[in-house]
Amino acid sequence: MGDGGAAVTASEPPNSPNSPKPPNSPKPPKCPLCGKPVDAKFKPFCSKRCANIDLHRWLSNSYAIAGAPHDEDEDPAAERSDQD
Ligand SMILES: [Zn+2]
């Protein structure tokens, strides 16, 4: 007695559904405009310059949507990214 066979416990799967991202790659956020590392003071941008650029874009877009006489067949959802 007492000499029972040890039950083999099924090991858990290596990939847990609770962690979609690997914890070993803490990539810092990047500026959506120029791709530089984000400065905490200008989140989510890297500098005041980029923050202003985005603000101007946003304002311009708002004014355009408000009713600007644009003859161009431009898609308001498309953003111009060819500017530096
Ligand atoms: Zn930037």
Output the pLDDT for position 70. 56
pTM for this prediction: 0.44
Q: What distance in angstroms lies between residue 76's CA and the mean position of ligand 1's atoms?
A: 23
The alpha carbon of 83 and the centre of ligand 1 are apart by a number of angstroms equal to 12
Report CA(48)–ligand 1 centroid distance (Å). 8
Output the CA 41–ligand 1 centroid distance in Å. Answer: 12
Domain regions of the chain by residue span: 28-67
Cβ contact 36:30 at 8 Å: yes
Mind listing the pLDDT tens digit of every residue in the chain (84 residues)? 666 666 666 676 666 566 566 667 777 899 999 999 999 999 999 999 999 999 999 998 887 665 555 565 666 666 666 667
Two tokens, residue 32: 């959506």
Closest C-alpha to 57, from 42, 76, 35: 76
Partner residues linked to 37 by β-bridges: 30
